[in-house]
């Protein structure tokens, strides 16, 4: 791989990678049974440079911001590289957000350029939120039909300049990306990630899980996700590896991709990993009794032989059919974005498929700790990565306290929010809001959250303030949304839920009509954002002089209630 210590920016490193690995395959794009595109690093450069030149011809200069809202495909990475080459700042947004949410974040980010795909643009262009984001002056749309009305946008395929673009250098402390960890409906939280953040994170991760020419990474998580941006783009590219994009994520086509492309690594969120476990277990249980007995014996032998360390060669021989289903060359499944249950991790390790579980957050540049498999520990989230200082703040008698981290991978701050930045980064230490402790071997064990938020098994950060918008105009005196674990702490990273706290008007009752109103509003939310129940409080909410709810004081009052019985089901 490239020696990233010598580079000042993402664009500079990628620029050299395209030349150094010119003849290696860097991208494969497949749609169902058909392979749509296969690009070498040289091909990639020839696609990206005309786009970079066109951006520069249109007045795009160093530090300007450009957003990408797109499903996983080669044009995502090509566009991102062109932005970096031209000295721009990338704003990757989740294509699964609503159009109004996307426009809100486009406005907050100050992006002047938007690159998206036709189906997404049809929804965006029809949204009333478009008016608010006047800062977006240039829109490029991929794969639009020949006769499509683009509502002022330009075709990505036709947007190219003549001649070589001028490479615009940046320095390590410059902002490379603005990544939104949450905040679509309340307080936008745009993490300003520097070039140094990504360069240092890449060095740390590849020191434990290396990439090289010939490695094939299956990109399933969206590329705007912090994990896939690092291990599905920047990491593989600086090592000469190949990224495989699937334009469909139907399970049968994902399964076929492993043997077809001899996948080396794949990243998943815990929910997908758990579903994969259920599917495999169902197949094992369906084996005839004699075969199942033999299979269980082979798993037991593999488990005994790999207790101290992973032995992929032995595992592939003992459990040949299992490993052939994954292509025969899978070195590890990378899982992150949320807490993964130990039994799920152990299930795969016993089959000889290590799961590189870890712990991190967007604000820390993806990963803070990771399991290095020396030895494999299903009960922890591993040890700190190289370059990470991790400490436990204000530990209780059992050693549990708030996890904090200091590293060159920690963001420079939240965009346009110095107050929140000061609360989150204290004396150069990032306060994660997560609770944990170190064991005697230096492994980190997580045990709950200090902050008012939940993280779903899909790796989605949900802040209660973002959910409250749907309950505006609710016919009650006042309301507030909380994470149940924040009010009634429990030492667990699973089963997190949101609750709606309401204070009724005098004489008002929590009856069927109000319950149905709340339920109808709740159903308008995406399933992972929905509240789990309602808490009725018979007193005014504490407020500041400016009439903002004192959430911490309110949470203390609610904590005196019996959690399970206080929550009324919808």
Tens of pLDDT along the chain (570 residues) come to 899 999 999 999 999 999 999 999 999 999 988 999 999 999 999 999 999 999 999 999 999 999 999 999 999 999 999 999 999 999 999 998 999 999 999 999 999 999 999 999 999 999 999 999 999 999 999 999 999 999 999 999 999 999 999 999 999 999 999 999 865 556 789 999 999 999 999 999 999 999 999 999 999 999 999 999 999 999 999 999 999 999 888 888 999 999 999 999 999 988 889 889 999 999 999 999 999 999 999 999 999 999 999 999 999 999 999 999 999 999 999 998 888 889 999 999 999 999 999 999 999 998 999 998 888 999 999 999 999 999 999 998 989 999 999 999 999 999 999 999 999 999 999 999 999 999 999 999 998 888 888 888 777 778 888 788 899 889 999 999 999 988 988 777 777 899 999 999 999 999 999 999 999 999 999 888 899 999 999 999 998 776 778 888 999 999 988 766 789 988
At 415, list the tokens.
């965009």
**151 within 8 A of 125, measured Cβ to Cβ:** yes
DSSP for 190-201 reads EEEEEHHHHHHH
**112 within 8 A of 60, measured Cβ to Cβ:** yes
List residues bridging with 219 in a β-sheet.
Answer: 245
Question: Which pTM does this prediction carry?
Answer: 0.87
List residues bridging with 403 in a β-sheet.
Answer: 392
For residue 247, which of 20, 31, 567, 472 has the smallest C-alpha distance?
31
- Per 3-state DSSP, what percentage of the chain is helix, strand, and coil (rounded to 5)? 35, 25, 40
What are the E-state strand segments in 331-415?
Answer: 332-335, 355-359, 369-370, 383-384, 389-393, 401-406, 413-414
SS3 559: helix
At 296, list the tokens.
């269980």
At 38, list the tokens.
């296969």
At 409, list the tokens.
């991978």
In CATH terms, the fold of domain 269-449 is Rossmann fold (3.40.50)
Q: How many Cβ atoms from other residues are within 10 Å of residue 271's Cβ?
A: 17
At 308, list the tokens.
């101290």
Domain positions in the chain are 4-261, 269-449, 463-569
Overall CATH class of domain 4-261: alpha beta
At 86, list the tokens.
């031209």
For residue 366, which of 221, 521, 239 has the smallest C-alpha distance?
221
CATH 3.40.640.10 fits 463-569, yes or no: no
Give residue for tokens 């699973």: 494
What end-to-end distance do the CA atoms of the chain give, in Å?
Answer: 54
At 145, list the tokens.
């039909």
Give residue 493's pLDDT.
Answer: 76
DSSP alpha helices (H): ranges in 334-475?
342-350, 418-424, 464-467
**535 within 8 A of 568, measured Cβ to Cβ:** yes
Give residue 546's pLDDT.
Answer: 63
Same fold, 4-261 and 269-449: yes
Do strands 355-359 and 369-370 pair parallel, antiparallel, or not at all (unpaired)?
antiparallel
Torsion angles phi and psi, residue 406, rounded to 5: -130, 125
Angstrom distances, CA of residue 84 to CA of 91, 139, 266, 415, 464: 11, 17, 25, 19, 34
Up-side HSE of residue 543: CA atoms within 13 Å toward CB? 10
Angstrom distances, CA of residue 397 to CA of 394, 400, 401, 437, 446: 10, 7, 9, 11, 16
């Amino acid at each position: 791989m490239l020696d990233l210590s010598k580079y000042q920016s993402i664009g500079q490193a990628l620029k050299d990678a395209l030349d150094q690995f010119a003849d290696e395959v860097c991208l494969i794009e497949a749609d169902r049974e058909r392979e749509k595109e296969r690009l070498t690093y040289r091909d990639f450069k020839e696609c990206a440079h005309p786009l970079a030149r066109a951006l520069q011809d249109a007045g795009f200069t160093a530090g300007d911001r450009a957003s990408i809202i797109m499903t996983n495909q080669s044009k995502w990475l090509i566009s991102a590289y062109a932005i970096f080459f031209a000295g721009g700042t990338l704003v990757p947004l989740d294509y699964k957000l609503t159009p109004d949410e996307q426009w809100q974040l486009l406005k907050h980010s100050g992006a002047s350029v938007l690159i998206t795909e036709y189906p997404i643009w049809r929804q965006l262009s029809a949204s009333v939120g478009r008016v608010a984001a006047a800062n977006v002056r240039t829109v490029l749309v991929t794969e639009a039909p020949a006769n499509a009305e683009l509502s002022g946008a330009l075709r990505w395929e036709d947007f190219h300049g003549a001649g070589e673009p001028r490479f615009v250098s940046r320095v390590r402390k410059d902002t490379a990306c603005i990544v939104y960890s949450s905040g679509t409906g309340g307080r936008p939280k745009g993490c300003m990630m520097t070039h140094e953040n990504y360069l240092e994170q890449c060095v740390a991760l590849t020191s434990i899980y290396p990439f090289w020419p010939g490695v094939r990474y299956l990109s399933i998580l969206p590329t705007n996700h912090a994990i896939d941006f690092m291990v599905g783009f920047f990491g593989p590219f600086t090592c000469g590896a190949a990224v495989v994009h699937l334009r469909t994520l139907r399970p049968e086509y994902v399964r076929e991709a492993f043997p077809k492309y001899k996948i080396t690594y794949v990243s998943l969120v815990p929910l997908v990993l758990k579903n994969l476990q259920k599917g495999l277990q169902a197949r094992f249980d369906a084996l005839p009794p004699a075969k199942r007995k033999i299979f269980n014996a082979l798993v037991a032998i593999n488990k005994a032989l790999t207790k101290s360390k992973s032995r992929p060669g032995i595992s592939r021989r003992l459990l040949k059919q299992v490993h052939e289903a994954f292509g025969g060359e899978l070195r590890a499944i990378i899982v992150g974005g949320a807490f993964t249950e130990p039994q799920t991790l152990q299930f795969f390790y016993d089959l000889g498929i290590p799961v590189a579980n870890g712990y991190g957050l967007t604000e820390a540049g993806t990963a803070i700790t990771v399991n290095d498999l020396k030895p494999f520990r299903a009960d922890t989230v591993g040890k700190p990565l190289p370059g990470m200082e991790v400490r436990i703040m204000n530990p209780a008698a059992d050693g549990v306290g708030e996890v904090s981290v200091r590293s060159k991978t920690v963001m420079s701050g939240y965009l346009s929010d110095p107050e929140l930045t000061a609360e989150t980064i204290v004396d150069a230490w990032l306060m994660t809001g997560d609770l944990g402790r170190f064991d005697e071997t230096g492994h980190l064990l997580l045990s709950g959250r200090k902050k008012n938020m939940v993280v779903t098994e899909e790796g989605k950060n949900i802040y209660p303030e973002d959910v409250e918008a749907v309950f505006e105009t609710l016919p009650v005196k006042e309301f507030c949304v909380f994470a149940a674990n924040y009010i009634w702490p429990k030492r667990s990273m699973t089963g997190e839920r949101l609750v709606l706290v309401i204070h009724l008007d005098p004489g008002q009752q929590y009856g069927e009509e109000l319950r149905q109103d709340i339920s109808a509003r709740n159903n308008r939310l995406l399933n992972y954002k929905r509240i789990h129940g309602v808490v009725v409080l018979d007193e005014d909410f504490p407020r500041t002089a400016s009439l903002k709810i004192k959430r911490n004081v309110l949470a203390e009052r609610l904590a005196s209630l019996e959690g399970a019985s206080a929550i009324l089901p919808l």
